[in-house]
């Protein structure tokens, strides 16, 4: 029996030892010690086709795969464009109506022509679409239904190949944008600028419809756009109407990423579409990574592209280090070949709490901060500064924050008979409400200090934004002892009385001023916010009626201008003040554009519009700065918006995750990141030691009880035998 007990104990120890090794790690234990980044996603990504996707979550993935002509420098601030697949920044020439070249300053400029010169060392990822027969036709193109019926994934194709990137691929991407059936969100905007794009779109959309009816593939190589010319494999020109300097920013976006004709035709095969083997599911690019696995119910995996061209981690001059304010540790990898990380694993996490706990255990390398975890992660000092909690500091977790080039604001419908208009009384009404709307309190209560109060439509980091007293809205704030202080409620009450509503009572009707606020707030979490909004207006004696509706109904009201007060927001498409000031341009007003305009407040001021027409095509010069300052003075006086908040993003990351720098405009930043895998493995082991003592005690209890019961059973058996012998 003693031998049996010894064997059981040895088996128990071996079992416990093996169990302790796997414990609670959700990842492949072998990958933990490799250059693999572990992250998560909460909902399946549906649009990975760059012509369709306009979603930050989707761009976080496809921007690692696709390469438009330009990118943002990872380290430089203010944000600066640089060549990605080009040999140099695009060169621009200007032409008059007779197609004669003129200077940029000429008043006869009719067209701007962008010349793009391509690098020769760029290849696509390996993919079955590139496999060709001897005659140049696609080996896996036009396959029979019988053959395609046996294909369930790209891995079922036996061969893959690659080829060099050419300018025809960039031309092909613009052609795909023009096909209405591809639902590009920027087509209408680009038609206003690219010569011939609108005519081409009408033509190709009709052709695509006809070919679809006759079950034919649409090969866009057979058609051309007037303003887009492939001069050679290495040179492309794009002609723009007039001057539009912001077009360079668009050339850094995924909409202008190259699409090889082989991939387009390959994915048009119906049998593949039925199995969801499409460009929306399996991208084909030249980027640092390629999508190796896309399982929406489990995980997505990116692997380093073995064909990736030479690219090195950026460096900065001493002067640029000072202006960009970059931490020294972010320069340690300067000059080293990219990418550092060889694999990226995105695991499905539907709930935020499990994801947060896994981050604390070291199983995710970085994390945002949800409202549930904020107090655990961050402490707010008496001065409003954010510091990591003691728990985070003890784990060596680091925090980086940045103000986003975004604005969330409350707006007045300037065509409304009560809150709209441009009379002194109308302005004073809006000014009074703006003062009463305590944005600092809102940021403290509802945003955990993750934001700053806006002083106008332009956020920090964008040309035209000013810090300090110069950048303060003097209509709403005073500058006291070097600080920005919101004017008192007494000032707001005085303005309200001068507007004709003393104490919130209309002099004309003798009734309480009642205003209507349209919102999409429908959930229980929004009730506290809506109550807070009512209290801000109640300070002035104004009654606020909140009209909640779903988002579709809300959008319909906005398009028809059937709102009085509403909240809205805007994230920068590109880092230029034009991208924010156009939200207040009269030509973009909803009432002037049959509901399609971006100026939802219907603000129209001739002086502002005249200045906007001047600055929208200017470079960032002192002259442009002065004109923008005048525009800000105008809108601060008119108050079409309660300026609201510029949000702040917070990123937590473990000490083994290197080169982390928030960049609001760039999305292709994973190639710059690095992981110290050995440090991660040791920290995970340290933080996730299993509580073995209770387990051992429990197992020993079972063994001892088994031993006792076995002895009792043996004694009974002996007693029975002895009794029978007697």
pLDDT digits (tens, 9 = 90+) for 650-695: 999 999 999 999 999 999 999 999 999 999 999 999 999 876 566 5
Distance CA(154)–CA(278), nearest Å, equals 10
Distance CA(83)–CA(230), nearest Å, equals 19
Whether residue 434 is predicted with pLDDT greater than 80 in this model: the reply is yes
More confident residue, 61 or 694: 61
Q: How high is the pLDDT of residue 700?
A: 66
Q: How high is the pLDDT of residue 321?
A: 87
Whether residue 203 is predicted with pLDDT greater than 70 in this model: the reply is yes
Mean per-residue pLDDT, 100-106: 95
Of 200-209, 251-260, 549-558, 695-704, which range is least confident?
695-704
Q: How high is the pLDDT of residue 524?
A: 66
Mean per-residue pLDDT, 369-383: 85
Whether residue 699 is predicted with pLDDT greater than 90 in this model: the reply is no
Mean per-residue pLDDT, 291-320: 95
- Domain 46-328, CATH number (from 3.30.1450.10, 3.90.76.10, 3.40.50.300, 3.90.110.10): 3.90.76.10
Mean per-residue pLDDT, 37-59: 91
Question: Residue 424: CB partners within 8 Å, gap ≥ 6?
Answer: 498
pLDDT tens for residues 383-415? Answer: 667 889 999 999 999 999 899 999 999 999 999
pLDDT band of residue 215 (cuts 50, 70, 90) is confident
Whether residue 497 is predicted with pLDDT greater than 90 in this model: the reply is yes
Q: What is the sign of the dihedral through the CA atoms of 23, 29, 34 and 36?
A: negative
CB 201 within 8 A of CB 187: yes
Q: How high is the pLDDT of residue 112?
A: 98
Output the CATH code of domain 406-647: 3.10.105.10
- For 636-683, strand residue ranges (E) read 641-653, 657-658, 674-675
Q: How high is the pLDDT of residue 522?
A: 59
pLDDT band of residue 641 (cuts 50, 70, 90) is very high
Q: How high is the pLDDT of residue 22?
A: 45
Q: How high is the pLDDT of residue 720?
A: 63
> Could you tell me which of 149, 394, 287 has the C-alpha nearest to residue 669?
287
pLDDT tens for residues 130-155? Answer: 999 999 999 999 888 888 888 989 99
Q: How high is the pLDDT of residue 555?
A: 84
pLDDT tens for residues 112-122? Answer: 999 999 999 99
Q: State the chain's mean pLDDT as an integer.
A: 91
pLDDT band of residue 102 (cuts 50, 70, 90) is very high
Where in the chain is CATH 3.90.76.10? 46-328
Where in the chain is CATH 3.10.105.10? 406-647
User: Which two structure tokens, joined as six digits, stand for 238?
Assistant: 């794009």
Task: Please tell me whether residue 150 adopts helix, strand or coil conformation.
Answer: coil
The DSSP result for 405-439, as a single string, is SEEEEEEE-TTSTTT-SSSHHHHHHHHHHHHHS-H
User: Which two structure tokens, joined as six digits, stand for 642?
Assistant: 């309660």
Check whether the bond before 471 is cis (ω within 30° of 0).
Answer: no
Mean per-residue pLDDT, 64-71: 98
Q: Which helix (H) or strand (E) holds 634?
A: helix 622-638
Q: How high is the pLDDT of residue 322?
A: 82
CA distances from 523 to 317, 331, 551 (A): 51, 46, 12
Mean per-residue pLDDT, 169-196: 96
Mean per-residue pLDDT, 166-195: 96
> Could you tell me which of 28, 648, 650, 38 has the C-alpha nearest to residue 392?
650
């Amino acid at each position: 029996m003693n031998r049996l007990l010894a064997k059981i104990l040895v088996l128990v120890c071996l079992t416990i030892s093996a169990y302790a090794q796997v414990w609670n790690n959700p990842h492949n234990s072998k990958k933990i010690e490799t250059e693999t980044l572990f992250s998560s996603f909460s909902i399946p990504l549906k649009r990975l086709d760059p012509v369709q996707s306009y979603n930050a979550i989707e761009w976080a993935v496809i921007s690692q795969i696709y390469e438009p002509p330009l990118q943002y420098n990872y380290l430089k601030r203010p944000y600066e464009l640089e060549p990605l697949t080009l040999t140099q920044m695009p060169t621009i020439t200007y032409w008059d109506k007779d197609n004669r070249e003129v200077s940029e300053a000429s008043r006869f400029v009719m067209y701007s022509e962008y010349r793009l010169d391509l690098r020769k060392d760029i290849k696509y990822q390996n993919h079955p679409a590139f496999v060709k027969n001897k005659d140049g036709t696609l080996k896996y193109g036009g396959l029979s239904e019988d053959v395609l019926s046996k294909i369930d994934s790209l891995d079922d194709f036996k061969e893959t190949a690659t080829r060099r990137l050419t300018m025809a691929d960039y031309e092909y991407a613009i052609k795909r944008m023009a096909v209405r059936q591809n639902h590009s969100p920027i087509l209408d905007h680009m038609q206003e600028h690219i010569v011939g794009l609108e005519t081409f779109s009408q033509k190709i959309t009709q052709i695509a419809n006809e070919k679809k009816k006759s079950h034919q593939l649409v090969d866009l190589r057979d058609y051309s756009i007037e303003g887009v010319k492939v001069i050679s494999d290495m040179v492309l020109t794009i002609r723009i109407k007039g001057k539009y300097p912001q077009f360079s920013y668009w050339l850094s976006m995924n909409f202008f990423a190259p699409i090889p004709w082989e991939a387009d035709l390959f994915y048009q095969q119906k049998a593949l579409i039925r199995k969801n083997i499409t460009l929306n599911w399996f991208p084909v690019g030249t980027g640092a990574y390629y999508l190796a696995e896309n399982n929406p119910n489990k995980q997505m995996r990116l692997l380093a592209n073995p064909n990736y061209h030479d690219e090195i981690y950026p460096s900065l001059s001493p002067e640029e280090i000072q202006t960009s304010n970059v931490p020294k540790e972010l320069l340690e990898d300067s000059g080293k070949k990219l990418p550092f990380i060889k694999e990226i694993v995105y695991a499905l996490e539907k709930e935020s709490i499990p994801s947060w706990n896994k981050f604390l255990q070291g199983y995710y390398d970085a994390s945002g901060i949800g409202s549930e975890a904020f107090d655990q992660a961050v402490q707010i000092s008496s001065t409003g500064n954010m510091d990591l909690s003691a728990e985070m500091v003890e784990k060596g977790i680091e925090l980086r924050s940045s103000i986003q080039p975004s604005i969330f604001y409350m707006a007045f419908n300037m065509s409304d008979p009560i809150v709209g208009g441009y009379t002194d009384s109308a302005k004073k009404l809006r000014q009074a409400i703006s003062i009463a709307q305590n944005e600092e309190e809102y940021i403290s209560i509802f945003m955990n200090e993750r934001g700053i109060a806006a002083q106008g439509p332009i956020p920090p980091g964008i040309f035209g934004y000013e810090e300090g007293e110069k950048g303060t809205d003097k209509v709403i704030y005073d500058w006291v002892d070097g600080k920005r202080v919101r004017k008192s409620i007494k000032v707001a009450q005085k303005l309200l009385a001068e507007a004709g509503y003393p104490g919130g009572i209309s002099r004309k009707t003798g009734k309480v001023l009642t205003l209507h606020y349209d919102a999409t707030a429908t959930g229980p979490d929004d009730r506290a916010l809506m109550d807070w909004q009512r209290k801000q207006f109640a300070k002035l004696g104004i009654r606020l009626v909140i009209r909640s509706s779903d988002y579709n109904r809300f959008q319909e009201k906005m398009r028809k201008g059937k709102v009085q007060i509403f909240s809205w927001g805007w994230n920068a498409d590109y880092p230029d003040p034009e991208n924010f000031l156009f939200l207040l341009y009269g030509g973009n007003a909803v009432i002037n554009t049959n509901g399609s305009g971006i100026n939802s407040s219907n603000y129209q001021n001739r002086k502002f519009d005249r200045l906007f027409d001047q600055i929208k095509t200017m470079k960032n010069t002192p002259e442009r700065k002065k004109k923008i300052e005048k525009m800000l003075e105008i809108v601060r006086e008119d108050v079409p918006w309660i300026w609201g908040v510029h949000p702040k993003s917070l990123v937590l990351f473990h000490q083994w995750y290197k080169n982390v720098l928030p960049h609001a405009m760039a999305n292709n930043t994973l190639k710059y990141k690095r992981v110290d895998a050995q440090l991660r493995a040791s920290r995970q082991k340290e933080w996730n030691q299993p509580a073995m003592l209770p387990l051992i005690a429990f197992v020993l209890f079972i063994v001892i009880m088994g031993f006792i019961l076995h002895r009792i059973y043996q004694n009974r058996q002996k007693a029975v035998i002895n009794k029978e012998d007697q």
